């Protein structure tokens, strides 16, 4: 991940990535690449600057502004739906002059409590949140249906894919969670307001009743529910006789006020307060996530730009001696990768072997001898729409691997994506050149660790590629 960038910049860079993965690199991006290289920042920031400088960037930014407006209206619509749902739920719950507290509480607090419990279970069970949650699916469907109606920029499908990707980031999922909690907060607050108004302007008989439970068990349940409101000072804890006197059909007219306060306190304590805490929790993580938002530079579309936007820097002898490159994880291909690419590095056109030539799905990019060769190969790798299954770098064991070769192979592998095979030739003839084979091979295996590749003989590399193809 890179240093944090703004949400709009993230979306613009992702839109460009989706576009280039679908149709290849922009042909008229030379000036944008130059602008990005002049920034002197990390790869992520250069990718953002390149996206801003590409033709059509302003039209994409305008589309993102339209989608932001649509998202705001979507949230407003959810709020109105919550208010109407609350009014309907309250009217259905107390359509009679005699109100049973437990029935009203169950009908008003049942749905929001059930959804809150599901959310909490999801936090515990799914440490890595699913990319296919209900709210994510609904939001994606709304964007894809309504988005094209307001998008006028190039490749609106790439813009929508970028927005969907944002919702699937940790910050995006926390944002969707915040919207869900906000919906239920509006619902519960509206229900509390409607209840307060109705209990203020109309006379209701409130109490409790039961059919299956005994009166003793019903009183225990009510006492348990009253514990938190009493602890918070929302209802009186001095005299609890109103609980027993609240049995419907006994003397409800004597305890109307305490039971009305009890009903409002239950909605506040067991409905609003838990949702408010969940909303604050989700909103905080969404806010902090968006402030630490960075591009996933492991995406093939970004890896291919690394050689284009981050040219290798000259390395001094002191740097090579004291800044040994760190080991890298073994490179592996993703499910969408395809094809095999071969390239030879400084082996000489006459001495170069070509063990993979003529095999199915193999692309030969020739020999890299000069800086122009390197730029040519990196450009060809960057223009690919999909990452390669394997990049086979052909080298000779007669050469001593140095820091420059490590950086070059890492650049090539980053741009190609997929697995890396270093086909090492001339191993058997090292002694004839006055080279200790064990020491030289140790150097090459160290290079493999520092590039995330695997050392194979040309024959082994040929077998590997044949087995895949």
> DSSP secondary structure string, 323-382?
-PPPP-PPP---TT---EEEEEESS-TTT---TTTT-TTEEEEEEE-SHHHHHHHHHHHH
Q: Could you tell me the end-to-end alpha-carbon distance of the chain, in angstroms, rounded to an integer?
A: 33
Q: Which residues pair with 393 in a beta bridge?
A: 343, 422
The confidence band for 311, taking pLDDT boundaries of 50, 70 and 90, is: low
pLDDT at 146: 60
The confidence band for 425, taking pLDDT boundaries of 50, 70 and 90, is: confident
Residue 279 in 3-state DSSP?
helix
- Mean per-residue pLDDT for 301-307? 75
- Mean per-residue pLDDT for 37-49? 81
- Please write the tens of the pLDDT for every residue from 146-197: 656 777 777 777 888 888 888 888 888 899 889 999 999 999 999 999 888 8
Question: For residues 242 and 228, what is the distance between their CA atoms, to the nearest angstrom?
Answer: 17
- Mean per-residue pLDDT for 199-207? 74
pLDDT at 434: 67
The confidence band for 122, taking pLDDT boundaries of 50, 70 and 90, is: confident
pLDDT at 359: 60
Q: Is the pLDDT of residue 248 over 60?
A: no
Q: Are the C-beta atoms of 345 and 408 separated by less than 8 Å?
A: yes
Cα Rg, the chain, nearest whole Å: 33
Question: For residues 465 and 388, what is the distance between their CA atoms, to the nearest angstrom?
Answer: 12
Q: Is the pLDDT of residue 338 over 90?
A: no
Q: How many other CB atoms sit within 10 Å of the CB of residue 404?
A: 13
- Which of 127-141, 142-156, 375-389 reaches the highest mean pLDDT? 375-389
Question: For residues 460 and 424, what is the distance between their CA atoms, to the nearest angstrom?
Answer: 10
Q: Is the pLDDT of residue 321 over 60?
A: no
Q: In 249-287, which positions are buried (b, 16+ CB within 10 angstroms) versus exposed (e)?
A: eeebeebbebbbbbbbbbbbbbbbebbbebbeebbebbe
Q: Is the pLDDT of residue 279 over 90?
A: yes
Q: Is the pLDDT of residue 99 over 90?
A: no
Q: Is the pLDDT of residue 1 over 50?
A: no
Greater confidence (238 vs 414) lies with 414
- Mean per-residue pLDDT for 285-305? 83
Q: Which residues pair with 364 in a beta bridge?
A: 342
- Mean per-residue pLDDT for 242-271? 72
The confidence band for 243, taking pLDDT boundaries of 50, 70 and 90, is: low
Greater confidence (103 vs 346) lies with 103
Report the candidate in 227, 207, 209, 208 with the shortest Cα–Cα distance to residue 269.
227
Report the candidate in 440, 444, 424 with the shortest Cα–Cα distance to residue 432.
440
The confidence band for 108, taking pLDDT boundaries of 50, 70 and 90, is: confident
The confidence band for 140, taking pLDDT boundaries of 50, 70 and 90, is: low
Burial class (CB in 10 A: 0-12, 13-18, 19+), 246: buried
Q: Are the C-beta atoms of 456 and 422 separated by less than 8 Å?
A: yes
CA distances from 140 to 16, 163, 296 (A): 19, 9, 21
Burial class (CB in 10 A: 0-12, 13-18, 19+), 137: exposed
- Please write the tens of the pLDDT for every residue from 53-65: 888 888 888 888 8
- Mean per-residue pLDDT for 407-434? 84
The confidence band for 315, taking pLDDT boundaries of 50, 70 and 90, is: very low
CA 121, 123, 125, 131 dihedral sign is positive
Q: Is the pLDDT of residue 241 over 70?
A: no
CA distances from 142 to 78, 94, 145 (A): 13, 35, 5
Q: Is the pLDDT of residue 2 over 70?
A: no
Q: Is the pLDDT of residue 417 over 70?
A: yes
**φ and ψ of 305, to 5 deg:** -90, -10
Q: How many other CB atoms sit within 10 Å of the CB of residue 215?
A: 12
Q: At CA 310, angle to CA 309 and CA 313, rounded to 5?
A: 145
Per cent of the chain over pLDDT 70 is 78
pLDDT at 253: 57
Report the candidate in 257, 250, 251, 241 with the shortest Cα–Cα distance to residue 203.
257
Question: For residues 358 and 363, what is the distance between their CA atoms, to the nearest angstrom?
Answer: 9
Kindly give, in sequence order, each residue whose CB lies less than 8 Å from that of residue 467, ignoring residues fewer than 6 positions away: none
- Mean per-residue pLDDT for 396-423? 86
- Please write the tens of the pLDDT for every residue from 67-82: 888 889 989 999 999 9
pLDDT at 215: 66
What average pLDDT does the structure give for the chain? Answer: 79
The confidence band for 319, taking pLDDT boundaries of 50, 70 and 90, is: very low
Q: Is the pLDDT of residue 12 over 80?
A: yes
The continuous run of DSSP H or E covering 111 comes out as: helix 101-125
Tokens of 176: 């969707």
pLDDT at 247: 63
Q: How many residues are given for the chain?
A: 469
The confidence band for 84, taking pLDDT boundaries of 50, 70 and 90, is: very high
- Mean per-residue pLDDT for 290-315? 74
Q: Is the pLDDT of residue 3 over 60?
A: no
Question: For residues 33 and 42, what is the distance between their CA atoms, to the nearest angstrom?
Answer: 14
Tokens of 316: 């001094």
pLDDT at 165: 85
Q: Is the pLDDT of residue 469 over 90?
A: no
**φ and ψ of 324, to 5 deg:** -65, 130
**φ and ψ of 364, to 5 deg:** -100, 120
pLDDT at 457: 85
The confidence band for 304, taking pLDDT boundaries of 50, 70 and 90, is: confident
């Amino acid at each position: 991940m890179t240093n944090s960038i703004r949400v709009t910049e993230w979306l613009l860079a992702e839109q460009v990535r989706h576009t280039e993965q679908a149709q290849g690199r922009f042909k008229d991006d030379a000036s944008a690449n130059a602008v990005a290289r002049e920034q002197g920042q990390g790869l992520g920031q250069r990718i953002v600057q390149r996206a801003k400088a590409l033709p059509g960037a302003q039209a994409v930014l305008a589309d993102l502004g339209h989608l932001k407006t649509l998202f705001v209206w979507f949230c407003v619509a959810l709020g109105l739906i919550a208010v109407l749902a609350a009014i309907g739920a309250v009217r259905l719950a107390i359509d009679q002059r005699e109100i049973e507290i437990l029935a009203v509480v169950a009908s008003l607090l049942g749905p929001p409590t059930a959804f809150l419990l599901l959310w909490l279970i999801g936090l515990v069970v799914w440490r890595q949140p699913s990319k296919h949650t209900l709210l994510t699916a609904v939001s994606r469907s709304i964007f894809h249906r309504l988005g094209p109606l307001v998008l006028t920029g190039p490749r609106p499908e790439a813009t929508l894919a970028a927005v969907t990707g944002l919702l699937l980031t940790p910050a995006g999922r926390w944002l969707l969670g915040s919207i869900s909690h906000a919906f239920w907060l509006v619902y519960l607050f509206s229900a509390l307001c409607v209840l307060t108004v109705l209990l203020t302007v109309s006379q209701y008989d409130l109490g409790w009743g039961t059919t299956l439970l005994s009166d003793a068990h019903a009183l225990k349940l009510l006492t348990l529910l009253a514990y938190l409101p009493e602890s918070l000072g929302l209802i009186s804890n001095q005299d609890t006789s109103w609980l027993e006197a609240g049995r419907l059909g006994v003397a409800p007219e004597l305890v109307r006020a305490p039971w009305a306060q009890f009903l409002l306190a239950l909605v506040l304590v067991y409905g609003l307060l838990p949702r408010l805490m969940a909303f604050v929790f989700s909103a905080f993580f969404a806010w902090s996530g968006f402030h630490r938002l960075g591009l996933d530079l492991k995406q093939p579309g970004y890896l291919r730009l690394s050689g284009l936007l981050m040219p290798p820097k000259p390395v001094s002898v002191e740097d090579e001696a004291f800044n040994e490159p760190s080991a890298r994880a073994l490179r592996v291909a993703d499910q969408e990768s395809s094809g095999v690419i071969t390239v030879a590095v400084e082996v000489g056109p006459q001495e170069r072997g070509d063990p993979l030539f003529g095999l199915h799905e193999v692309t030969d990019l020739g020999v890299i001898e000069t800086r122009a060769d390197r730029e040519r190969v990196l450009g060809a790798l960057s223009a690919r729409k999909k990452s390669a299954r394997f990049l086979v770098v052909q080298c000779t064991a007669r050469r001593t691997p140095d820091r420059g070769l490590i950086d070059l192979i890492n650049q090539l592998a980053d741009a190609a994506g997929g697995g890396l095979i270093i086909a090492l030739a001339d191993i058997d003839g090292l002694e004839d050149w006055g080279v200790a084979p064990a020491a030289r091979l140790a150097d090459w295996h160290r290079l493999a660790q520092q590039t995330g590749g695997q050392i194979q003989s040309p024959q082994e590399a040929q077998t590997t590629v044949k087995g895949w193809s």
